[in-house]
Structure 1
Amino acid sequence: MSDAKKEYPIVWWTKWFNEDQYEGVMTDDCGLPYNCRHTLNRSKYNEAKVIVFHETDWNPKDLPPLQDVHESKKAWVQNTGKLCVSEWPQPLMYQQKYNSLFTYLFNYHFGSDFIMSYFTSGRSSPRALINLVSRPPLHTLQEKNQFRKHGFHEQDSKPLAPVAWIVSNCKAKNGRHFMANQLKKYIDVDIYGHCMPNRKWPKKKDGVADMADEELVSHYKFYLAIENSNCEDYVTEKFEKPLAVGTVPVVDGPDDYSRFTPSKKSIIKYDDHGSPERLAQYLKVLDNDDKSYQEYLAFRTNRTVDNTDKNGHVIIDSPATFNQDYKERLLPWFIDNWDIDETGFPNKTTTQWLSKDGGERTSRAKYGMQWGPDGKGARCALCRVARDLTEGDAVIDPSKRLTIDTTCKFRKFYHVSWVIAFHHYWALFTLVVTLTLLFVLLTRAGRGCVKTLILRVLKVLKSVTRRKQHDYFELQQESEC
């Protein structure tokens, strides 16, 4: 019996950020001879082989029968996205007691079973990563130099800093805000958002509507694409913003950005400089050297009459803005990860390009990546597993269980100055000293303690003085003899 058009259920035991995000979602565009339907309807539990849980909606008091997991009747899938897996303090879900109940991982990590990065693969969508990095910068370097002197436009004449940062989370576990505060001492940084803002959000030329995020970023030479967690493969939309508009990203996140880097000279890594001061010095050099700065944009498509309008603005959704010769401009490893067509297969690049990339790189095949590392690709791979488990073409391996992600670095930027590293203790020390002074100055007992202490110090000094005088007298007598 053919399984063409057959539909397999995938049950979400939890909501997704407290929303019915996946209710009724169909997986029917994967090039597979069957479909899958995502549902929160628990009445489908007995029929489904795959049960999905979302990290922040997990409740250990509301679980399906654990016996089904122990007997390998059901495969639990852990879905994460906003936080890296071992963010501290760990959500209850990631305590190993519960982590070991899961068979599959569905998140941003390229080693997960169902890879769902923050980007779009392929080339059919204008928002596909290959297309974003290919189109010309929305503003020329000459325009950016003018913005540095005169601001966004006539209504906002305050000069722009060379660096911009949009940030809303002031409590990032890696302490990125400490690094940014240090960086500001050595180079101007315009900060927008709810955390540490030093510049008002700009308006469009009409003076009414706010600028969109990407429009704002496009006016700057550099943008701080600093993740809130330092975990392997954890690269988010913070990185996409500058890439989409032709601003050079200053990045900090995972140690290895090679999966996401379109060219060898396309990003500036904080770790390559090691301190806010040295990073600022390098950015200043590029800010004052147009030729060196342009090297970070050399992989992008040039402006032509076909990809700009009559006012010289880039037509961002036009295929003419995409890099038609991208295979010659972009790194082979980048293409291998992101150039995947709608049928779920690479655009004839894997064999051709991996041979040029060296043995140190790992191909898509290691992870079984038939589809792109995005939301659609993850759902397609999940659908295939659901079907294979249901039809008996695959079995649940009882020895395959998730473990805690150990790739993350905690409190990375707490070392940038000793005051920052010990700021909690410094505050406590200041409080103790202040209270002591108040006690001494405002109470009789305090003044008595100070008086007693002074008298004891004077007594000790007097005793030391007498001893020294005695020693000197004896030494003088010996010399006379």
Structure 2
Amino acid sequence: MNNPPTFAYRQRRIRQHEEMPRLRPSQVYRNGAIVAAGLLLIYILYSFLASDGPTSGGIRSAQPPKHSSKHLFLTIDKNRMDTRFEQLAPKRIFLWTPIFRSYDGPTVTDCPGLENRCIFDHDRSRLAAADAVLFHGPDLVDVGLPPPESRTRKQRYVFMTMEAPANTFVHYPAGLLQPNYFNWTMTPLFSSDVLFKYGGFWLTAKEAELKGFKMDSHALDPSSLTDKIPAVFALISNCATPSKREAALRALNRHFNVTIAGACATTPELKERCPKGTTCDEEISKYAFFFAGENTACTDYVSEKYWSRKELSTIPIVLRRADYANVNLPSQSVIALDDFESPAAMGKYLRDLVKDKAAYAEHFSWRRGGWTIAPWNTEGYRNGYCRLCERLWEEDQPEKVIPDVRGWYERESSCDDGSFVKNCLVFDFVCVCVWWLQCHENVIVALDEIASGGRTAGIAQIRQSSIDSEQRDDDE
């Protein structure tokens, strides 16, 4: 059993307690104030980092998207990057190649809701920190690929181009593109991992209304459709294209007037008609039609040839209608060469159209139908760098490797090698021959007359056939 403490022990404990320094009330208040000030400072610093808008030190915060509250992230000035912000930093997109020999241009500042979610960099000392590495196809031939050891598992290697395959892979040496190398594609194809197209997204009036978008106005003064030059205006600077569009224009010109301006024109005056650097919109609008055919006829490849002139008071003519299917063009807003069996049939349609003002005006009826282009890079209609940034933040994405990126792009693009135009020309030649024989049925009889010795009668029949043909042309 433990013995009870002695009287001397208790007295010693009492004296020790009395000798301990006592805390004065003023000290308690001061310590409490210090603790409160510390908590307030922590709160201010947190509010400073989590607030909207610019702040000192080159740091700007960004709110998470409405559909997610899992991420707190900061955009940090590239010159003030610090590893302590690694978990809070935006997605980093690294430019391994320049884009048409320049590293300037890529940005997300025009992406509503994404302005602070991604940054672009090309400092190779920071390659390992990148979330995505961007390879611009046309520039890759001059730069090559990075060494395998520089790659990390989290990175997405993205093959990017806005050019058609023929202009993307030009001058590529054998073996430049390694198999199973890229994770994502970023091209004008709607089947790409990241869509990177020209122009915007057409919506019907109903689609725009459901999205809550303000309707566009494409109103046109009816007087602008009168007194048009009855011809197709074509501004062409590439005179030998994969699509063979120049051959298509020559064939059409046999049946309907085509005016070619630019470098491919046949006269000095037409070569200078639209100087480089000018829009030429006023000149183009004088004509009933303008040629918007691409130098490469590929699925989804619709360049500024259409987009920059879609509002003009003239009808665009394109090569293959199917190439524009995903672009969702307003109905009757373009005329396609493959809408017709031959250039001859198309020429007849255009001749009839310029004579029938009501039918011509019908091709502009879409302007009254509420067709609208989705607001630039709004959610659901992101494009290019905005879509890339958005996709990098999407969660639960499966790993993906593209076995052959060149093969994929060429196959999905379904580019025409000129066969379409060649077939049109062959069909046109056959049609012309049949038409000529039908119109000149007397020629066969005349040739028989000449062969049998009735030369005078045969020549008379040929002359009469020519007169009959001219009269038929006048009637058309």
Q: 1:186 aligns with which of 243, 249, 255?
A: 255
Q: Distance in 1 between matches of 2:278 and 2:415?
A: 34
Describe how 1:280-429 pairs up with structure 2 within 5 A: 280-301=347-368, 326=370, 330=371, 338-340=373-375, 344-345=378-379, 370-372=380-382, 377-387=383-393, 394=397, 396-398=399-401, 402=405, 403-406=408-411, 407-412=414-419, 413-417=421-425
Q: Any idea what the Cα deviations from partners look like across 1:40-73, whole Å, max 9, x if unmatched? A: 222220110211111111037632123566x744
The answer (yes or no) to whether the contact 1:371–1:380 under 8 Å persists in 2 is: no
Q: Distance in 2 between matches of 1:400 and 1:3?
A: 35
Q: What displacement does 1:133 show?
A: 8.2
Match of 2:317, SS? strand
* Mapped pair 1:9 → 2:92: yes
Q: Distance in 2 between matches of 1:45 and 1:202?
A: 48
The answer (yes or no) to whether the contact 1:103–1:400 under 8 Å persists in 2 is: no
Q: Distance in 2 between matches of 1:251 and 1:281?
A: 17
Residues 196 and 90 from structure 1, CA distance in 2 versus in 1: closer, same or farther, beyond 3 angstroms? same
Q: Any idea what the Cα deviations from partners look like across 1:282-331, whole Å, max 9, x if unmatched? A: 10010110011111011214xxxxxxxxxxxxxxxxxxxxxxx61xxx4x
Residues 95 and 249 from structure 1, CA distance in 2 versus in 1: closer, same or farther, beyond 3 angstroms? farther
The answer (yes or no) to whether the contact 1:3–1:34 under 8 Å persists in 2 is: no
Q: What displacement does 1:33 show?
A: 8.8
The answer (yes or no) to whether the contact 2:232–2:291 under 8 Å persists in 1 is: yes
Residue 236 of structure 2: aligned partner: 167
Q: 1:247 aligns with which of 311, 314, 317?
A: 314
Residues 188 and 400 from structure 1, CA distance in 2 versus in 1: closer, same or farther, beyond 3 angstroms? same
Residue 124 of structure 2: aligned partner: 42
* Mapped pair 1:272 → 2:354: no
Match of 1:245, SS? coil
Q: What displacement does 1:227 show?
A: 0.9
The answer (yes or no) to whether the contact 2:262–2:273 under 8 Å persists in 1 is: no
User: What number of residue pairs does the alignment pair up?
Assistant: 332
Residue 58 of structure 2: aligned partner: none
Residue 270 of structure 2: aligned partner: 200
Q: Distance in 1 between matches of 2:340 and 2:96?
A: 45
Amino acid at match of 1:405: E
Structure 2 length-normalised TM:
0.60
Residues 133 and 274 from structure 1, CA distance in 2 versus in 1: closer, same or farther, beyond 3 angstroms? farther
Q: What displacement does 1:39 show?
A: 2.1
Residues 74 and 255 from structure 1, CA distance in 2 versus in 1: closer, same or farther, beyond 3 angstroms? same
Q: Distance in 1 between matches of 2:342 and 2:215?
A: 30
Kindly, what percent of the aligned residue pairs are identical?
Answer: 22
Q: Any idea what the Cα deviations from partners look like across 1:369-419, whole Å, max 9, x if unmatched? A: x333xxxx322221134345xxx8545334676324221111232344469
Q: What displacement does 1:261 show?
A: 4.5
* Mapped pair 1:19 → 2:27: no
Match of 2:311, SS? helix
Tell me, which stretches of 5 or more residues in structure 2 are unaligned?
A: 1-69, 75-88, 204-212, 430-476
* Mapped pair 1:29 → 2:111: yes
Residue 230 of structure 1: aligned partner: 297
Residues 15 and 197 from structure 1, CA distance in 2 versus in 1: closer, same or farther, beyond 3 angstroms? farther
Q: Distance in 2 between matches of 1:419 and 1:268?
A: 19
Match of 1:293, SS? helix
Residue 161 of structure 2: aligned partner: 80
Q: Distance in 2 between matches of 1:415 and 1:18?
A: 39
Q: What displacement does 1:339 show?
A: 2.5
Residue 136 of structure 1: aligned partner: 219
The answer (yes or no) to whether the contact 2:131–2:155 under 8 Å persists in 1 is: yes
Amino acid at match of 1:266: S
Amino acid at match of 1:181: R
Amino acid at match of 1:228: N
Residues 42 and 248 from structure 1, CA distance in 2 versus in 1: closer, same or farther, beyond 3 angstroms? same
Larger mean Cα displacement after TM superposition, 107-116 or 253-262: 253-262
Q: Distance in 1 between matches of 2:342 and 2:174?
A: 33
Q: What displacement does 1:186 show?
A: 1.3
Q: What displacement does 1:275 show?
A: 1.8
* Mapped pair 1:59 → 2:65: no
**What RMSD, in angstroms, separates the aligned Cα atoms of the two structures?**
3.8
The answer (yes or no) to whether the contact 1:133–1:262 under 8 Å persists in 2 is: no
Residue 461 of structure 1: aligned partner: none
Larger mean Cα displacement after TM superposition, 226-235 or 113-122: 113-122
Q: Distance in 2 between matches of 1:203 and 1:177?
A: 18
The answer (yes or no) to whether the contact 1:217–1:242 under 8 Å persists in 2 is: no
Which structure has the larger Rg over C-alpha atoms? 2
Residues 28 and 396 from structure 1, CA distance in 2 versus in 1: closer, same or farther, beyond 3 angstroms? farther
Q: 1:106 aligns with which of 170, 176, 186?
A: 186
Structure 1 length-normalised TM:
0.60
Q: Distance in 1 between matches of 2:427 and 2:335?
A: 27
Residues 95 and 118 from structure 1, CA distance in 2 versus in 1: closer, same or farther, beyond 3 angstroms? farther
Amino acid at match of 1:19: S
